[in-house]
Every structure is written in structure tokens, then in C-alpha cells.
Amino acid sequence: MKQYRIYFAVAILVFASLACEVLTGGGGNAPGATTEPGNSNPPAATMAPGSNTSNTGFPMTADAYNVTEIGDGSLLYYTNLSLEEVMAFYRAEYTSRGYTEREILTVVEADSGVFSMVFDGDPSGKGVVIQSVDLGDGSRTVAIRLEDV
């Protein structure tokens, strides 16, 4: 449990750092990322044709923007959906794929707009880790990765 708290704290710090960078206008030239908030059409290079799934294979909400596929196979994007809507989206998406939520690892901090959830069932044997942070401007980040959990 202590190890999970450390991972969660590090994830929060990473998201806070990204949020500060976005709010101060830095980092707008990342390869494969859009730079205009509200852009619901991520660049073709980061989207599989005709779907809301990135090249990493992770599903994204329909309004995803500033989509960035990180070199380690992770995905980071922004959405204007609420915490509840994003969680409901991933529960429906992964349940329909036959994955199971590892509920003991689901953490929701509604007051701060932060959540973390893990789904088992990926062919790699790793857990699908989904984390999100409210940026305070009506948007939130969503980060997805495979991890040994």
C-alpha cells in the first residue's frame, strides 16, 4: 500500500507539472500534439484512422485534444469531461472489452478532481492504469499506460 501511495504521489506531481506548463504556455511544440484547447480533432499522426483509439491502442474520449503519445507506449490527452464522465467512459469501454476493474486500486479524490483506476485483462498481462487530474479551468488530463501492478 505504501508503494502505491508513492506512485500516486509521483503521478500527481507529474500532472501538476504538466498543468503548470500548459497554464504558462510552455511546451506547445511537442511532436504529435495539438496546441489549441478545445480542438476535438487530434492530429492524424496520433490517431488510428476512423476511431477514438490512439496508435498505442488505448481508447480516448470523443473530445480528446492535445493528444500526446509518449515514447514508452503511454498516452496523455486533455478532455473537458467531468471526473465522473471520464470514469464512466473507461468503465464502459474496458468492461465491453472483457477487462475487469481492480476496484481495490481505484482512488477518487472528488474534492481535488483526481482519480486513478486499474483494469486487468490486457494481453500483455500488465494492468491498464488510468489517471486523471482536474486542471481547474474546466479541463482535465487523462494519462493511460500499461504497468505491472
Cβ 127 vs Cβ 103: under 8 Å: no
Query: Higher model confidence: residue 42 or residue 78?
Result: 78
Cβ 101 vs Cβ 91: under 8 Å: yes
Average pLDDT over residues 1-18: 51
Handedness of CA 23, 29, 30, 36 (dihedral sign): positive
pLDDT of residue 24: 43
**pLDDT tens-digit readout, 67-104:** 999 888 899 999 999 999 999 999 999 999 999 999 99
Fold of 2-37+45-147: TATA-Binding Protein (3.30.310)
Domains of the chain: which residue ranges?
2-37+45-147
Residue 23 to residue 58: CA distance in whole angstroms: 26
Cβ 140 vs Cβ 134: under 8 Å: yes
